[in-house]
Structure 1
Amino acid sequence: MHIGQVAERTGLSLRTIRHYEEVGLVPASARSRGGFRLYTDADVARLMVIRRMKPLGFTLEQMGELLAVTDRLEGRTPAGPLSEAERRALLDRLEGFERAARERCESLRTQLRWAEEFAADLQRRGRQAAPASPSDPSGSAGPG
C-alpha cells in the first residue's frame, strides 16, 4: 500500500511515517516504479507498535530495541534459529518493556486523575465566584 493509505490506517502523518523510515524503524518494504514508498501489513503493524509506545514516552532508540527483540523472537531476521539462552534473554527484555509500559500507563492514569480534579476544581471555583444574574430568579449565572 502507498504511504497515504498507511497514514490513514495508522493515524500517523506522512511526515511522521517518513521520519520513522529515515531513522530506520520502519523502512518501506519496496518502491514502486515511480519511486513511491510501498508498505505491507507487517509495516503497518510495526508503525502501530511505535504509535502505541510514543505516548508512553519511549525513545526512538527504545522503540528500535523493542522492534529488534520482537523481530528476532518472531523469526523475521536472517540470524538463524534461536538458542534457548538467546530466547530467554529476548523474553526477559520483552518482559522489561511490558513492565515499563504498565508503569507508564499507571503514571498517566495518575496524571489524568489529577488533571480531572484540577478541571473540576476550576469549574467549582467558577460557579462560586460567578455573581447571580439579576434577571435570573434562580440565582444561576446562566449557561456555561
Structure 2
Amino acid sequence: MSAPGDVIDGRFELLDRLGSGGMGTVWRAVDRALHREVAVKEVRPAAGRDDPEFRRVLRERVLREARAQARISHPNVVTIHHIVDEGEHPWLVMEMLPGHSLDQRLEQGPLQPAEAARTGREVLAGPRTRQASATGT
C-alpha cells in the first residue's frame, strides 16, 4: 500500500491522498525534477479482482486510454504528463487542477438549474472532444 513520502519512478513524491475508487487512488504529489505539483493516479484493481489475467487486461486498457487522452488538448480534459509502467501496477502522472468534488460543492446546498446545466455542459465537453479526436471529426 502506498503512503505519503513514497517516491514513484525516482521522481514523484506522494504528498497526500486526494481520493480513491474502484480503479485506484489519486495522490497529490510533487515532481522533483520539474518542481511542480502533479496528480498521480495509482491504478489498482478493486478488491477481489487480483487474478493475473484481469490485471493484465486492466493494465493494457489503462495504458491505451492514457495514451489516447494524452493526445487531447482541451480545458475540460486533464493533461497526462507521464506514464510509469513498472512494478505491480501502472501510475498516471497528470496535471494538478484546482477545484473540488461535486460532493464538496453539494455540501453548500443544491445546484441552481443554470449552474447544474453549465456544469453538465462542461463535463460533457471533455468526452465529446475525445470522441471527435478518436473518429477524426
Larger radius of gyration: 1
Q: TM-score range by the shorter chain?
A: 0.3 to 0.5
Structure number with higher helix proportion = 1
Q: TM-score, normalised by structure 2?
A: 0.37
Structure number with higher strand proportion = 2
* Structure with more contact order per residue of length (Cα contacts < 8 Å, sep ≥ 6): 2
